[in-house]
Amino acid sequence: MKTLAILTAALLGSSLALAQATAPQKAGIEAKGYQWNAQEGEKIEALQKKGDIENGLEAYEICGACHLPSGAGRPDGTFPQLAGQHSTVLIKQMADIREGLRDNPTMYPFAKTLTDPQELADVSAYIQSLCIPVNHGKYEGADAALQIAAGKDLYVKECKECHGANGEGDKDKFYPVIAGQHYKYLLRQMTEIRDGKRRNANPDMVKIIKRYNDSQLVAISAFQSSLSMPGAMCKDSPKKK
């Protein structure tokens, strides 16, 4: 009987943990009256606070398991490069995940470990302070030069205004840094935005990107992943002799 009680308690505990780790789902871009950057909730509280980089380092430790201590993420695109990203973008995206506006079941349980808006500001300030790794996932096809050239034409025409000539984004407008981002991650996110699977997408971007076919998205991603921000990139490690 005692063994059964212990087993029952364990199962109930597991169910509770799973329930706590299941994200809510808030209506996003598919809903009438959707506001991409509504000025409300913990996001606004966090944006009004001064992030503490030292405290942010401690809070980031749990993030480093997936995104790596350097913030480099994974070249295969499973986890994005975060290092050097604008704190405003990080706060918005994490707040959207925490409240169920952006679907990310893998990250949600970890994002929920941040205790309050101050810790959200702290970890974002720390990530923003990191240099952007130079060795990230790029397009590696035999036609790389052609893809990058084609992607540059599209980028300059319709992406540069928001994301900048060097992929620097715009901190005040919540447009992300894309310099140093992994090719496969960029391609996956743009495809999901185009196909309506990114529920916290910016409607202005959707209007542009929904016209692009798969080949064009490959080209744009190839070019974007080739960008670097002067003064923000990590220094190359010296080669061993």
In sequence order, what are the residues at sequence separation of 6 or more whose Cβ sits closer than 8 angstroms to the Cβ of residue 46?
Answer: 91, 95, 117, 118, 120, 121, 124
Please provide the average confidence, as pLDDT, over all residues in the chain. Answer: 90
pLDDT at 9 over 90: no
Domain that holds residue 103: 34-129
Same domain, 149 and 196: yes
CB atoms within 10 A of CB 196: 13
Domain co-membership, 123 together with 150:
no
Q: In this predicted structure, what is the pLDDT of residue 1? A: 37
Domain count, the chain: 2
Q: What is the pLDDT of residues 173-195, one digit of tens each?
A: 999 999 999 999 999 999 999 99
Backbone angles phi, psi at 156, to 5 degrees: -60, -35
- Statement to judge: residues 179 and 118 lie in one domain: no
Tokens found for residue 52: 């503490």
Q: What is the pLDDT of residues 195-235, one digit of tens each?
A: 999 999 999 999 999 999 999 999 999 999 999 999 999 99
**pLDDT 10s digits, 63-102:** 999 999 999 999 999 999 999 999 999 999 999 999 999 9
pLDDT of residue 237: 61
Q: What is the mean pLDDT of residues 142-169?
A: 98
22 occurs within a structural domain? no
Instruction: Please give the pLDDT value at position 47.
Output: 97
Would the pTM count as exceeding 0.75? yes
Of 113, 115, 71, 111, the closest CA to residue 95 belongs to 111
pLDDT exceeds 70 at position 162: yes
Looking at 73, 97, 129, which one is the last position of a domain? 129
Burial 7-21 (b: 16+ CB within 10 A, else e): eeeeeeeeeeeeeee
- 85 is a domain residue: yes
- Note whether 44 and 120 are same-domain residues: yes
pLDDT tens for residues 95-132? 999 999 999 999 999 999 999 999 999 999 999 999 99
Kindly state whether residue 25 falls inside one of the protein's structural domains: no
What is the percentage of the chain residues whose pLDDT exceeds 70?
89
Q: Which of 129, 155, 182 is the last residue of a domain?
A: 129
CATH code, domain carrying 150: 1.10.760.10
Same domain, 118 and 63: yes
Residues 161 and 113 in one domain: no
